[in-house]
């Protein structure tokens, strides 16, 4: 019957890409939601030590960061290779932590201030001397909730 | 008059544009999780109370020291990090009521009743030359000891691990087995 006569040329139909933008937008949304902006340029090299008993920080927005480590190569000519403290976007010394904490505290709302956490991200080869100084400074401005940054190690068992 | 249709906008490049934005976000964002060991620093003592601070009984305190060569001393003996956990667990539980290990105090815990809470305090001291990774390793070991004790306690009382308990029960366990790690005033622990 004529109806069942095959078409002579049969091409595979082109795959419609009309939904591609939708898919990509979906991925985009996912990344925007799941990710936090890199707010500061890392000026020190930090490889945080490993630990097995790490806890997650509940509220990231209440957290301020202190980076401690050797300056990255771009800054080594200027600042040497001794461990330095980075607050926001510049190298600071321990005395300036106080102002930093005060400023960070001002940024938070009244209710959240007691829950402010200071995350110390120090390189694993740092000596404790500088960290002790930082801790003493933090105690002096009564920012007592701290967190030693660490990455989760696989359970060695 | 001919009706002019507005020409359709070609959506073909939409994918390219959104890819571009996607790549931009991938580059400017970080995905590192915030993880670490939470600690509470002791408040700075005010000047007038400095005199009678260390009134803690000797048996209730264990000194954990790390010297500048990353050697670890707990109590008075030198030991490896792997031994520390058991030492701490023994110190905090004091299973045989050894008079040299910390005493226990019957405390009323809401929702549980009387429970002998150990009065032991772990005092962690480090030298300025101690490496940070060693320090974290030791801290980690201390936390692990306490976590294991809490798990044990939770298993006994509720038949579940600590993490799986609800908030109020976790609080009870926290009270029964407090995490009493004090980071001592910095001292230069000279190497022996």
Nearest to A132 among B11, B40, B128 (CB): B128
* Containing structural domain, residue B128: 56-183
Contact B186 A132 (CB under 8 A): yes
Per residue in B104-140, pLDDT tens? Answer: 777 777 777 788 888 888 888 888 888 888 888 888 8
- Domain count of the fold of chain A: 1
**CB B121, CB B60: distance < 8 Å:** yes
Contact B132 A37 (CB under 8 A): no
CATH code for position A90: 3.30.420.270
**CB B129, CB B65: distance < 8 Å:** no
A39 belongs to a structural domain: no
Per DSSP bridges, beta strands A117-122 and A145-149 are parallel
Nearest to A127 among B35, B43, B129 (CB): B129
Distance separating alpha carbons of residues B73 and A34, to the nearest angstrom: 43
Per DSSP bridges, beta strands B181-183 and B121-126 are parallel
Among the residues of chain B, which ranges form H helices?
14-28, 81-93, 132-158, 167-176
Provide the pLDDT for residue A157: 37
Give the mutation candidate from A114, A129, A133 for the B interface (greatest B CB count, under 10 A).
A129
Provide the pLDDT for residue A133: 85
Which residues in chain A touch residue B125, judged by CB atoms under 8 angstroms apart?
A: none
B86 belongs to a structural domain: yes
B104 belongs to a structural domain: yes
- Domain count of the fold of chain B: 1
A6 belongs to a structural domain: no
Task: Average the pLDDT over A53-73 and give the result.
Answer: 82
Tokens at residue B106, please? 């019957």
Contact B25 A28 (CB under 8 A): yes
Which residues in chain A touch residue B143, judged by CB atoms under 8 angstroms apart?
A: 53
Per residue in B29-45, pLDDT tens? Answer: 766 667 788 888 777 76
Give chain B's mean pLDDT: 78
- Nearest-CA residue of chain B relative to A116? B40
User: B128 Cβ partners below 8 Å, 6+ apart?
Assistant: A127, A128, A129, A132, B68, B186, B188
Contacts by B95-101 with C-beta closer than 8 Å and gap 24+? Answer: B99/B59, B100/B59, B101/B59
Contact A35 B29 (CB under 8 A): yes
- Nearest-CA residue of chain A relative to B67? A128
B84 belongs to a structural domain: yes
Instruction: Let me know if A37 is exposed, middle or buried by CB neighbors in 10 A (0-12, 13-18, 19+).
Output: exposed
For B23-71, give the DSSP string: HHHHHHEE----EEEEEEPPPPPPGGGSTT---S-GGGEEEEEE-TT--
Nearest to A120 by CA among A105, A109, A134: A134
Per residue in B61-98, pLDDT tens? Answer: 888 888 888 888 887 788 888 888 888 888 888 877 77
Rg (CA), chain A: 26
A29 belongs to a structural domain: no
Give chain A's mean pLDDT: 80
Provide the pLDDT for residue B189: 45
* Containing structural domain, residue A60: 44-152
Tokens at residue B22, please? 């996607």
Provide the pLDDT for residue A101: 87
pTM of the model: 0.73
């Amino acid at each position: 019957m004529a109806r069942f006569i095959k078409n002579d040329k049969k091409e595979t139909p082109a795959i419609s890409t009309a939904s591609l933008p939708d898919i990509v937008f979906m991925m985009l949304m996912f990344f925007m939601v799941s990710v936090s902006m890199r707010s500061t340029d890392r000026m020190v090299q930090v490889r945080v030590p490993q630990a097995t008993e790490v806890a997650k920080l509940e509220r990231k927005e209440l957290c301020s960061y202190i980076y401690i480590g050797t300056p990255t190569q771009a800054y080594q000519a200027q600042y040497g290779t001794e461990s330095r403290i980075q607050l926001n976007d510049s190298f600071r010394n321990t005395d300036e932590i106080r102002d930093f904490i005060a400023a960070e505290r001002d940024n938070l709302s009244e209710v959240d201030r007691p829950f402010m956490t200071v995350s110390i991200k120090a390189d694993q080869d740092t000596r404790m001397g500088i960290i002790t100084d930082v801790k003493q400074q933090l105690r002096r401005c009564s920012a007592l909730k701290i967190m030693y940054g660490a990455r989760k190690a696989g359970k060695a068992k | 008059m001919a009706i002019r249709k507005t020409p359709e906008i070609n959506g073909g490049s939409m994918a390219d544009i959104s890819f571009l934005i996607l790549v931009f976000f991938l580059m400017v964002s970080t995905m590192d999780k915030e993880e670490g060991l939470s600690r509470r620093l002791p408040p700075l003592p005010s000047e007038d109370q400095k005199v009678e601070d260390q009134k803690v009984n000797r048996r209730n305190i264990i000194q954990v020291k790390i010297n500048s060569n990353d050697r670890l001393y707990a109590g008075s003996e030198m030991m490896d990090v792997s031994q520390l956990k058991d030492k701490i667990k023994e110190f905090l539980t004091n299973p045989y009521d050894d008079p040299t290990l910390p005493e226990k105090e019957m405390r009323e815990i809401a929702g549980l009743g009387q429970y002998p809470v150990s009065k032991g305090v772990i005092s962690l001291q480090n030298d300025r030359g101690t490496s940070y990774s060693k320090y974290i390793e030791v801290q980690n070991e201390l936390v692990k000891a306490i976590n294991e004790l809490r798990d044990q306690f939770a298993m006994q009382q509720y038949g579940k691990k600590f993490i799986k308990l609800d908030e109020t029960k976790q609080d009870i366990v926290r009270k029964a087995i407090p995490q009493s790690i004090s980071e001592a005033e910095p001292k230069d622990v000279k190497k022996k």
